[in-house]
């Protein structure tokens, strides 16, 4: 299983992108419009945040879910051990340290803009029989939406005393419609094929990985697969560095209908309970 790399400048970008989502649940974007200097700045600013004790003053709000989630807060659905990560949920309306606000909000806006284009590509390239299941245009489900969040993740260097079964991010599927993941500066992301084998996602620094979440799988009647993925631990020695990554999770407004059984709101609540965040 090889996740395709898409040149966003190509005339065939939309078709190739959607074909890759359909086949693997993932696509890697190259030559995309996200400003790489901004990405570098956001990474170095947040590395500073995670290395400071001040981070604990921004502890997440359990009701609104914005803020800092300390190390070992979250487990993947059904996983016993907690993931070896700490992270921050950034929403434009939520709490954010002053020194991070300007660059972080700029990156949020850029990623959100890219995501609208990608949803239009998905819409345009969906077969008519699938498109008719969408309760509205896909981009209208999330534009605007207070639920879309940017997660800044820090996987600290391994200390050697971790629970043996714990990994950086245990196998999971994303809950939301589509995820735009700013490539990490370190490897580790893997995707699972239908036979249960794991494959490295060859996501060079500078690229953006995009993947289908459960909500798009649901509203496309399983046409697009919400593929299982995980982040594995580094080898010990020189490979053992902290790893940062930044996914933007596109969440429709709560009242948006996804299927006969679920709105985005009811589905999200069910999943947050399953992963220990509610």
Ligand X SMILES: O=C(O)CCC(=O)C(=O)O
Q: Which residues bind ligand X (CB under 6 A)?
A: 151, 153, 169, 174, 181, 184, 189, 229, 231, 245, 247
Q: Which is nearer to Fe ion, 13 or 175 (CB)?
A: 175
For residues 154 and 202, what is the distance between their CA atoms, to the nearest angstrom? 20
Min separation Cβ 184 and ligand X, Å? 5
Min separation Cβ 98 and Fe ion, Å? 29
For residues 207-266, which are near Fe ion according to CB under 5 A? none
Query: How many CB atoms neighbour CB 121 within 10 A?
Result: 22
For residues 33 and 111, what is the distance between their CA atoms, to the nearest angstrom? 9
Write out the two tokens for 268: 């999200």
- Report yes or no: 175 and 265 within 8 Å, Cβ to Cβ: no
Q: Is 66 in the site for Fe ion (CB under 5 A)?
A: no
Q: Is 83 in the site for Fe ion (CB under 5 A)?
A: no
Contacts of 50 (CB under 8 A, 6+ apart): 86, 154, 156, 242, 244
Min separation Cβ 151 and ligand X, Å? 6
Contacts of 177 (CB under 8 A, 6+ apart): 119, 138, 141, 142, 213, 215, 216, 219, 250, 251, 252
Q: Which is nearer to ligand X, 55 or 89 (CB)?
A: 89
Picked from ligand X, Fe ion, none, the partner binding residue 189 (CB below 5 to 8 A depending on kind) is ligand X
Q: Which is nearer to ligand X, 169 or 180 (CB)?
A: 169
Site string for Fe ion, 87-116 (x = CB under 5 A): ------------------------------
Min separation Cβ 229 and ligand X, Å? 6
**Which region, judged by CB under 5 A, interacts with Fe ion, from 19-27, 135-143, 167-175, 259-267?**
167-175
Write out the two tokens for 161: 């005393």
Task: Judge if the upstream peptide bond of residue 144 is cis by omega within 30 degrees of 0.
Answer: yes
Q: Which is nearer to ligand X, 134 or 247 (CB)?
A: 247
Provide Rg for the chain, Cα atoms: 18
Min separation Cβ 209 and ligand X, Å? 7
Q: Is 174 in the site for Fe ion (CB under 5 A)?
A: yes
- Report yes or no: 211 and 229 within 8 Å, Cβ to Cβ: yes
Give the footprint of Fe ion on this chain (CB under 5 A): 174
């Amino acid at each position: 299983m090889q996740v395709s790399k898409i040149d966003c400048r190509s005339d065939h970008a939309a078709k190739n992108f959607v074909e890759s989502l359909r086949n693997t649940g993932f696509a890697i974007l190259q030559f995309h419009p996200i400003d790489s200097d901004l990405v570098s700045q956001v990474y170095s600013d947040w590395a500073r945040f995670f290395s400071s004790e001040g981070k604990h003053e921004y502890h997440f709000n359990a009701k609104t879910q914005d803020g800092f989630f300390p190390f070992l807060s979250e487990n993947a659905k059904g996983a016993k051990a907690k993931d070896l990560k700490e992270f921050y949920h950034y929403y434009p309306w939520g709490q954010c340290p002053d020194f991070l606000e300007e660059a972080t909000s700029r990156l949020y806006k850029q990623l959100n803009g890219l995501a609208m284009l990608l949803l239009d590509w998905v819409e345009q390239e969906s077969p008519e029989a699938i498109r008719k299941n969408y309760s509205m245009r896909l981009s209208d489900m999330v534009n605007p939406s207070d639920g879309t969040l940017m997660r800044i993740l820090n996987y600290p260097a391994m200390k050697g005393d971790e629970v043996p079964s714990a990994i950086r991010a245990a196998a999971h599927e994303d809950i939301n419609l589509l995820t735009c993941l700013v490539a990490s500066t370190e490897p580790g992301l893997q995707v699972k094929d239908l036979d249960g084998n794991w494959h490295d996602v060859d996501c060079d620094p500078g690229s953006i990985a995009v993947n289908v979440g459960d909500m798009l799988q649901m509203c496309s009647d399983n046409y697009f697969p919400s593929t299982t993925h995980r982040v594995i631990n580094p080898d010990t020695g020189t490979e053992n560095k902290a790893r940062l990554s930044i996914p933007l999770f596109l969440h429709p407004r709560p009242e948006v209908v996804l299927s006969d059984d679920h709105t985005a709101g009811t589905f999200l609540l069910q999943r947050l309970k399953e992963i220990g965040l509610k």
